[in-house]
Structure 1
Amino acid sequence: MGEQDGTRTCPGCGAAGVLPGQLVCRVCYVPFALVPPPMEAAHASMAADRDPGRDPAPMASDRAAEADTRVIDRPSLTLDAPGKVAPPHALALRFSGGQTIALTRDEQVRLGREPRLCPRAGFLTGHSDLSRLHATVAVDAEGTATVTDEDSTNGTFVDGRRLAPRSTAVLRPGSTLRLAADVTVLVLP
């Protein structure tokens, strides 16, 4: 199997059996559009395209575009089901005091000032304007994150809008969550 039968190797990980037209490597999941072609193939294609009557400027821009197309970093991925790729965590909550709580799929965390009700958020104990159980952040099996106000006294705010008591809002990376007046939480991917 190889170049003779139309297959080739992945330029990212070297796995054999890449078929013509295949968009993603089946081993490392790197999109082939992000991996630059091997240098000898790139030079051969440029030499074949040379035409004495053609303006050389487009070829220079082609070379610049090829130089700028490269894989900078591959994310670490885990398989949670055959053929399904999932990140190691679904989201992270970064609090104004510098603390971070990471959540995975099918997980929830309670936020409030009572450590027995909110064991992962014990650092919120000193915030007297928070309710004992203020809000719950949950991530479902598909990775959708939500926040639910737990009938708090001083309110739960998502991107500046107050949630009605016992209501739920979707959280996205970059959203800002505010609990009462002084606890600000940034939602990170």
Structure 2
Amino acid sequence: MSTPLGPEESGADPAVDMVTCQCGWTGDRNEFEQCPLSGDDLWDSVPPVRQLIELTVADGARFSLAPGSGLGLGRDESYPAAAAFAAHTNVSRYHAMLRYDGEKLFVTDTDSSNGTFIDGIKLEPNREHRIEPGAALRLAADVPITIDWRS
């Protein structure tokens, strides 16, 4: 039995098509038509695992999210992205949190003063919301975050 390759080992080879089965097994569906654990058909039932998501804040600052990672959005200096929001005083110190599980991207408004929006709809605070590919994410009234879904 072949050992599945993780994103670090697979590199940028376009012939590699990593998927995660519903049972949690991850492997290249070009090598495996069925999950060796559950027997699920990897071509019909399992979406490909995304390798990276790129985020661009209104001022052009860019950040990457790898599968299993998160990013705090806000002006607090403990956040790696704080400098990108420093000039945006309508963005709270602890505005929102992003979480990427390798297939889906989520945002939680952390009780910000001016809200977090998906496609213009204000999100309920302190509740995780899924961001679909193509959706527009915005902090407060005028701080868009562009999401580049890479596979």
In structure 1, the partner of 2:74 is 112
* Greater than 2 Å deviation, 4+ residue runs: 74-88
Give the number of the structure with larger relative contact order, counting CA–CA contacts within 8 Å between residues 6 or more apart. 2
CA displacement at 1:99 relative to structure 2: 1.8
- Tell which deviates more after alignment, 143-152 or 94-103: 94-103
5 Å-filtered alignment, 1:87-102, equals 87-89=50-52, 91-102=53-64
How many residue pairs are counted as aligned between the two chains?
113
Higher-Rg structure is 1
Runs (5+) with no aligned partner, structure 2: 1-12, 20-25, 30-47
CA displacement at 1:76 relative to structure 2: 6.8
In structure 1, the partner of 2:95 is 134
Q: How far apart in 2 are the matches of 1:76 and 1:110?
A: 33
Does residue 83 of structure 1 match 2:28? yes
SS in 1 for 2:81: helix
Task: Please tell me whether the aligned partners of residues 113 and 124 of structure 1 are also in contact (alpha carbons under 8 angstroms).
Answer: yes
Report Cα offsets for 1:4-30 as digits up to 9, x if no partner: xxxxxxxxxxxxxxxxxxxxxxxxxxx
Q: Provide TM-score, normalisation by structure 1.
A: 0.53
5 Å-filtered alignment, 1:171-186, equals 171-186=131-146
